[in-house]
Amino acid sequence: MEGGGDGSRNRRQAERLEILLESSRTLIARLASLKNELNHPDVQSRLPWNEKQMKSVAQHMKSTFPAYPNLQSLDDSKGPEELRKRSKASIVCQLLERYFLAFYDSVDVREETRMLLAEIACEGQGMLLQEMPTLVAAFMNLLVAYMEMILLLSLIADKELIVCFYTYCFQYATDLPVTKYEPVANLFHHVCPSYDVAWQSLRSEFEEVPTFANYATSKKMSDFLQSLLFEDRRSTASQSVLSYYQSMRDLIDGDSCFGNSLIHSGENLQYPSGFKTVGELTYWMAPQMEDMLTWMTMGLLACPTLIILNHTKDNVEFMKHVLEERWVIECAGLQIWTHVEMYKIFHDKSFISEYEKSMSKQGFKAAKDRFKKSISNFIKNAPNEHRKRRALLHVRCEGFFHVLSDSPGLLGPQWFSVLSLLSLAKSETLWFLQHRELPTKRMKEGGKEAGKTYKKHVWQADSPTGEEHFISLLASLLRLKNLSLKFQHVSSDYFSSYLEGLIGSSLAQAAQAAEDGKVSQYMSELAEDLRQPEPSKMRSVRVDVQRLNCWIRNKNYRSRDGLEAIFKNLQRAYYSALVVEDSGETVFSHASLGSIFLWNDQLLFHAIQTFFEINPASCLIAVQVYDDMTRCALAQAYPEDIESHGKQAVTFAEDLLKRLCKAFTVMLRKLIRDREQTDVIGSAMEKSPLASSLSSFCSQIAHDCLTIRVFNRVFSPLQEVVRAVRQDLRDFLYEKMLTGGIIQPRITYRQLLSYLNSLSCLEEFASMSLPDLLGTVLEDVFEDAAVGAVGKGFKLDLTGSSFKDSTCLSYRVAEWYATMVVKQDVFFVPSKKSFVGPEQYVEDSTSVPSLMFLSLLVGPRGLRCMDRVLLSKIFRLLEKVQLSLSSNRPTLAKIAEDFKVHDYKELEGLGQLDLDDAFKALSSIGSLLQLRQNLHLALSHAMEHSTCPRALQLCVNHTGSFLRLRETSELDMIAYDMGGSNHLFPVDPNLQHTALSSGVFSREAMASGRWKNLELLLAGLIRSHNLRDDVVLTEACGYGGVLNGPAVGILALLILAVSNEPEEQLRDTPSDLLQERRVSHSIAVLVRIMTYLASKPASKKQKKKSQRAAFILIDRFIEHAEKYCPNVRKHAPSFLMSSAIQNLVVPDEAHNETNFTEEGIVE
């Protein structure tokens, strides 16, 4: 179809309107990308004028702008020589070229847009929204895009320097001038040098009669906007944008059967709108309500004289809808603060003068009071009004979703109802995020004016109920959008049939009734094209409809009779063709939340702080929001821009998903603290809102949100939740085991059971088995990779370097136990089978029942890791023994050689012995051995009764661990491997192997002579396991003796090493006899040394108690040693038999356990 109109009027307005709309959107996206890029510090550092040697050049160019940067204008001092080199100039040109070209495109688009807007405003009759809604929408969208482009250019940093440097360097690089410099420089210098100047330029332009072209009539843009937006002087019934916006707002806020027809009688619907109670125009324009509000707001800000024109008639109405609806308008990279800009207008001297000249001072005062009252009403009433809207829209969206899910075929007749709901829900969702706090903190331009605008006003944050409506509405919006996209072919097929049948015949009838022959011809051709509608031809159909609108408008018909049917059928054809062309794109354009990136921090913060606890399932759906920006909202011209925004969207989505998963674990912790809910999680689901929320979240990730796609990344919420739960379980175990410095295995075990019980929501509603959920968490937490598999021997690293920086929880727990039991005020009580000390937790944590719970937590592998740590501690203590004995070697040698000493005084003359460090180390070693024995005993009991947690047992079976809890013989193998108290292995095989083969008691070490005196000290304690049952001896040592009771374990090991060392044998001396002689000699020496140490207590205060305990130890030792050396008592010093020493010996009846208390031996 050719363009309508005669030669003078045939300027192809429809085609130009379509082209400029698309070009302006693309250009705004490009400028927004450049604005954000130029504000980035990394980009700023690469720009040439930020180099130190270029400062003078940049200063000169700024001072001479907008003059052309002539080469001769910069001397050598101002223009560095390297900048004039062709290579340097080429690099700068390549860096700045895309910026400069975007600016020049802005000049072209601006000039073309100004021309077209002036043509439409000055030529032909006025446009009525009822007759030409598509043309009105296209014109106003282009006008708003034109204003946004100018304002966005004013906010781009260093735009003058970009133009100057590019022009300057382009001349050196190519030897050619830049012919495009002047229009760009004039635009930046005169129209948009700054944000406020850009507004003034727009207002001046709209208040002037256009002079750049000849028109039949001349009309200011402000007058045209007045008739289009606020008042229609040609009709008794107002048909302006304001009147339609008001009627639709009243319809929605009043809930006038909005959506009821769909729910109750959807199968009887006949019209595309789906409703007979309101006109089709209402549902065609309802999706554009947000755009209509933007038209009125931008029109009022660009043409303040409209306030004067509407002072007496519609002042209250447009103030209400422009100022009391919102305080910000957003587009890509631009935020226009409505209230602040109006504040500037009301304080502009020229506006005040004009207002007072037209309406008097009282009139201006009344208008200013009305402005203040509008802001006050907005602050006071807006939150509650929008809260009600969100609640209503949530109900309607859910109703549509459920009905359309059951009957997708209704999506065809209900298409514009769905679009209306999506658009309104999107508007309310963004409104909530934009109005969380006063804009004074967010404004980069006009910050002072913002503070004055909202002076004495306090913005009331929304209640939890309002926030619940927000997140629920957001989820409903996304669900309805996804459903519409899923069944978009239904609407396409429906409107294809509609175009082919009803629209085609109606257009043919309207064409026959048209008085204008051209109109009749064009409509007949259009009707013929629609009889076989194809998506590829629908765009040309929409352009043809706009051509007809422009033709009819420019013809200036005297009578408009018969045009009503033509207009109605043209609009039906336009909107139907829009759906057939790409219904999915239509859904995105009305439901896209791409601008949510501007409020990303608000969404993240409040989604985590409040929304998740209210509605976690809806928060999960909200992750899909970040896909909109890359798919529709910011369709960039450059692929790298699309990639950049896509990566940003992925980052935001990933951050939000991780925060939601973290919030899920926080709710798990809260559920654990409520024992009533964690004991029986199934019944608690019906009683606890918290448990119900968790169950709905788990159901959501397992069914509705298996995957979420954002740009080129596919997220699996279930995997993210599992990952978060695993990490939280690690943190939970570390926190419970190590926080506060006290390990309480019994309590931790019960808390772990509560945690695992709370995870049944994932097992039940997300079909996630606990072994798959936990995976190797328990192994990672409690096991050390260096330990190896259970049931296999290992070679101990004596240096202990592998443990130094270990994060294994079993290692850290073993460190805690080792540190505790080696304290000098902690000792072992055989009757209690635990250690005791000043703190009560010592006995609670070391008792066999507590260690049984510990073994249930860490399992056999974790206990093996603990065992390895304790062994490493033991061998480090042995090194201390070595150092202590080496320093006392001369005195020990004298004692060993002097067999005639039989009196205490004679012992004193042999020299001083300082073996405190040695005996402390031996005592600590014995304590660690006793702890190991108790751990093995606890493990044996715990595994024998199969009392480990269900999740632990499942995980062990799932990961193929050695332990299956089936055969007792395997427990014997574990006991053997870990040095357990199995009767077949009375001595720890690992210790024995290490001590004899490569340890500090190896044959090589003995041969070097460094440990000869250790033999003399320890040989008498052969088979010291037999002393373990002597309560009196152990109690005596524990309550003040020189040796602590558990030391006998390590002494047994050391005598094993000594007794197996080969000696030089005479040919006539059997090895047994040699060994017997050696043991006898060692026992005699050991008795002498023990007697010497017992006679020298550490302090006078403890003298009697220490001597009593030491002599009991010696007496009991001699009594047991007689089994292996019958003549041992004759080697005891004679003073042990004196009357003075005999009085210190406790009678036999005092050896009973009942005679000992925790305070010490009964006197």
Residues 6+ apart with CB under 8 A from 654: 713, 715
Q: Which two tokens stand for residue 447?
A: 């910050």
CB 607 within 8 A of CB 656: yes
582 vs 102, higher pLDDT? 102
- For 781-833, what is each residue's pLDDT tens digit? 877 766 655 445 545 554 444 555 567 888 889 889 998 888 767 777 766 77
CB 633 within 8 A of CB 592: yes
Mean pLDDT of the chain: 70
Distance CA 1056, CA 261 (A): 95
Please report which confidence band the pLDDT of residue 391 belongs to, taking 50, 70 and 90 as the band edges: confident
- For 538-554, what is each residue's pLDDT tens digit? 888 888 888 888 877 77
pLDDT at residue 146 in the model? 93
Beta bridge partner(s), residue 829? 834
pLDDT at residue 805 in the model? 53
Closest Cα to residue 100, out of 179, 19, 22, 176? Answer: 179
pLDDT at residue 107 in the model? 92
Distance CA 166, CA 99 (A): 9
69-83, 853-867, 969-983, 1013-1027: the lowest-pLDDT one = 1013-1027
- For 1004-1059, what is each residue's pLDDT tens digit? 554 554 444 343 334 323 222 223 333 333 443 433 333 334 444 444 444 444 44
E strand residue ranges, 830-943: 834-836
* Angle in degrees, CA 779, 785, 786, rounded to 5: 145
Percentage with pLDDT > 70 across the chain = 59
Specify the pTM. Answer: 0.71
pLDDT at residue 785 in the model? 65
pLDDT at residue 885 in the model? 66
Please report which confidence band the pLDDT of residue 948 belongs to, taking 50, 70 and 90 as the band edges: very low
pLDDT at residue 147 in the model? 92
Q: Which two tokens stand for residue 200?
A: 């003034």
CB 39 within 8 A of CB 138: no
Distance CA 778, CA 402 (A): 44
* 396 has a pLDDT exceeding 50: yes
1087 vs 119, higher pLDDT? 119
pLDDT at residue 913 in the model? 59
Q: Which two tokens stand for residue 202?
A: 């727009």
Q: Look at the block and give the residue holding tokens 């019209």.
A: 271
Distance CA 158, CA 164 (A): 10
- For 125-164, what is each residue's pLDDT tens digit? 667 787 888 888 899 999 999 999 999 999 888 888 889 8
Burial of 548 (0-12, 13-18, 19+ CB in 10 A): buried
Mean pLDDT computed over 921-934 = 75
Mean pLDDT computed over 477-504 = 83
Mean pLDDT computed over 729-738 = 85
Please report which confidence band the pLDDT of residue 175 belongs to, taking 50, 70 and 90 as the band edges: confident
**Which strand (E) or helix (H) includes residue 1140?**
helix 1139-1142
Percentage with pLDDT > 90 across the chain = 2
By residue count, the chain amounts to 1163
Closest Cα to residue 921, out of 829, 1000, 867? Answer: 1000
HSE, side-chain direction, 13 A CA sphere, residue 204: 10
Query: How remote is the C-alpha of 676 from its chain's centroid?
Result: 31
φ and ψ at residue 828, rounded to 5 degrees: -95, 140
Left, alpha or beta for 331 (phi > 0: left; psi -120 to 50: alpha)?
Answer: beta
Please report which confidence band the pLDDT of residue 680 belongs to, taking 50, 70 and 90 as the band edges: very low
Residues 6+ apart with CB under 8 A from 950: 756, 770
Mean pLDDT computed over 178-196 = 88
* 565 has a pLDDT exceeding 70: yes
pLDDT at residue 145 in the model? 92
* 687 has a pLDDT exceeding 80: no
pLDDT at residue 895 in the model? 59
Left, alpha or beta for 582 (phi > 0: left; psi -120 to 50: alpha)?
Answer: beta
Q: Which two tokens stand for residue 673?
A: 């603290």
pLDDT at residue 864 in the model? 75
Please report which confidence band the pLDDT of residue 896 belongs to, taking 50, 70 and 90 as the band edges: low
Mean pLDDT computed over 643-671 = 82
Mean pLDDT computed over 1076-1083 = 56
Mean pLDDT computed over 645-654 = 81
Q: Look at the block and give the residue holding tokens 């409107």.
A: 495
* 399 has a pLDDT exceeding 70: yes
φ and ψ at residue 95, rounded to 5 degrees: -70, -40
**Which strand (E) or helix (H) includes residue 158?**
none
Mean pLDDT computed over 947-954 = 42
767-776, 964-973, 1114-1123: the lowest-pLDDT one = 964-973
Distance CA 147, CA 152 (A): 9
Peptide bond into 439 cis (omega under 30): no
Please report which confidence band the pLDDT of residue 364 belongs to, taking 50, 70 and 90 as the band edges: confident
Beta bridge partner(s), residue 336? 329
